[in-house]
């Protein structure tokens, strides 16, 4: 078993192979010279704290060795020879495989505009450490992109005492992935913390000490960060002749057209049975975990299809935003107003089936309800809208029904 990519997905797959009883060779290859670590803290606690960011390790080298997992770090895979079933490393070594998992993740998108080389990116621990050193009290920070990463960076920079401006091309932050009323609450929290949000704006160029907007305004900055999404890492798959369609194309078992090669996590697109077989790609910590473990079982011969509902979360200031399902699959919204002021926003499809749920609140205030909604989505529940909106009717009761 050969696993390419030592992030969340690849590391979880390696461990899951052992948990499933596989006692043959398992090799995990990672381009970074670090033990597998969690990426979500890089835009949150790792940047907001005073100390230099340290990795939140998934499995250290001792654990991997104890599990009998050969871990090759600091080396990239240069090519896959499908005919010979070998992977060629950048240093010339060749690794044979019977089953191979592509868990190559995604890379931060770069801006395509003059001066883009001046914008910092955040994807790795090294990126986080470089940014952390620049986030000093009083620094003027310009963030291009008002999605999850951009806003998490804004909250972390504000916590460090920076003056933050976020520039977003769309009419509002958080785009289509988050219901507008929830995005408005998050935007209000940022403004209350002193963040300037500029929406419906274009960036013409990045200059020394400024972001130049299409309107002609110059936004003064000591540091510019681009948070404009991520692109799947598919170069290996493409060079090997595998189909790429918004990520490495896989079937419901996460298998490619080559029965010996699987792909999982941020790098793959797959058909989701809960959404009519719609092909999606998810950039999500939880999805990387779930698909890593699932791919391990599939590589060992399991026949079931991956059907876990999407789930996302974001921590910003004292707020936690959680989303289950796919909000853009909904045709009708039902709102449940809780006594504590939290509004749960549910999305129903044309048949009345629950396909999404979203909420924002302090700390863990929304976690239980979103988890129950996630279970309802997985069960293909079609709750009566009036009961779904009524806070007197427990979600657990609707789930049992």
As given in the structure block, the two tokens for residue 271 are: 């058909």
The CB-based long-range contact list for 254-258 (8 Å cut-off, 24+ gap) reads: 254/291, 254/294, 254/295, 254/298, 254/306, 255/298, 256/102, 258/82
Say yes or no: domain 2-107+231-299 is CATH 3.40.50.300. Answer: no
Question: What average pLDDT does the chain have?
Answer: 97
pTM of the model as a whole: 0.95
pLDDT reported for residue 322: 98
In CATH terms, the fold of domain 110-226 is FAD/NAD(P)-binding domain (3.50.50)
What's the burial of 188, exposed, middle or buried (CB within 10 Å: 0-12/13-18/19+)? Answer: exposed
In this structure, are residues 357 and 399 in contact, taking their beta carbons and an 8 Å threshold? no
pLDDT reported for residue 234: 98
pLDDT reported for residue 259: 96
- For the chain, what are the domain ranges? 2-107+231-299, 110-226, 318-400
Count the alpha carbons within 13 Å of 394 in the hemisphere toward its beta carbon. Answer: 5
Domain 2-107+231-299 shares a fold with domain 318-400: no
In this structure, are residues 42 and 53 in contact, taking their beta carbons and an 8 Å threshold? yes
- CATH for 318-400 is 3.30.390.30
- DSSP per residue over 9-58, as a string? HHHHHHHHHHHTT--S-EEEEESSSS--B-SGGGGTHHHHSSSPP---BS
pLDDT reported for residue 382: 97
Please report, in angstroms and rounded to a whole number, the separation of the first and last CA atoms in the chain.
Answer: 43
Neighbours of 384 (CB within 10 A): 13
pLDDT reported for residue 177: 83
Q: What are the Cα distances from residue 185, in Å, to 149, 182, 320, 373?
A: 17, 5, 11, 21
Pick out the chain residues at pLDDT < 50.
none
> What is the dihedral sign for C-alpha 237, 292, 49, 55?
negative
């Amino acid at each position: 078993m050969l696993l390419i990519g030592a992030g969340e997905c690849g590391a979880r797959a390696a461990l899951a192979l052992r948990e499933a009883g596989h006692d043959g060779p398992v090799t995990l290859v990672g381009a970074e010279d670090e033990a597998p670590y969690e990426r979500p803290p890089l835009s949150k606690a790792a940047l907001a704290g005073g100390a230099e960011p340290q990795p939140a390790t998934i499995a250290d080298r001792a654990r991997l060795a104890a599990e009998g997992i050969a871990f090759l770090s600091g080396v990239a895979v240069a090519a896959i020879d499908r005919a010979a079933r070998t992977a060629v490393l950048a240093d010339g070594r060749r690794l044979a495989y019977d089953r191979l998992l592509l868990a190559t993740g995604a890379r931060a998108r770069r801006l395509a505009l003059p001066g883009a080389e001046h914008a910092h990116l955040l994807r790795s621990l090294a990126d986080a450490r470089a940014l952390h050193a620049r986030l000093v009290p009083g620094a003027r920070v310009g963030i291009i992109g008002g999605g999850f990463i951009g806003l998490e960076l804004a909250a972390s920079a504000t916590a460090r005492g920076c003056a933050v401006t976020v520039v977003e091309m769309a009419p509002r932050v958080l785009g289509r992935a988050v219901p507008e009323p929830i995005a408005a609450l998050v935007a209000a929290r940022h403004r209350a913390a002193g963040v300037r949000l500029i929406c419906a704006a274009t960036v013409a160029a990045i200059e020394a000490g400024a972001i130049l907007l299409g309107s002609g305004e110059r936004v003064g900055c000591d540091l510019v960060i681009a948070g404009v999404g991520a692109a799947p890492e598919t170069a290996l798959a493409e060079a090997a002749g595998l189909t790429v369609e918004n990520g490495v194309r896989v079937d419901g078992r996460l298998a490619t057209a080559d029965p010996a090669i699987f792909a999982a996590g941020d790098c793959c697109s797959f058909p989701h049975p809960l959404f009519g077989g719609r092909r999606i790609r998810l950039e999500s910590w939880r999805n990387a975990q779930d698909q890593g473990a699932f791919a391990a079982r599939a590589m060992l011969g399991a026949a079931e299809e991956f059907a876990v509902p999407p789930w996302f979360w974001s921590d910003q200031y004292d707020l936690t935003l959680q989303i289950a399902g796919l909000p853009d699959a909904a045709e009708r919204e039902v709102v449940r107003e809780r006594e504590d002021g939290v509004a749960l926003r549910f999305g129903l499809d044309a048949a009345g089936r629950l396909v999404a749920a979203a909420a924002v609140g302090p700390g863990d205030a929304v976690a239980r309800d979103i988890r129950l909604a996630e279970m309802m989505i997985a069960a293909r529940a079609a709750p009566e809208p009036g009961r779904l909106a009524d806070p007197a009717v427990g979600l657990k009761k609707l789930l049992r029904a």
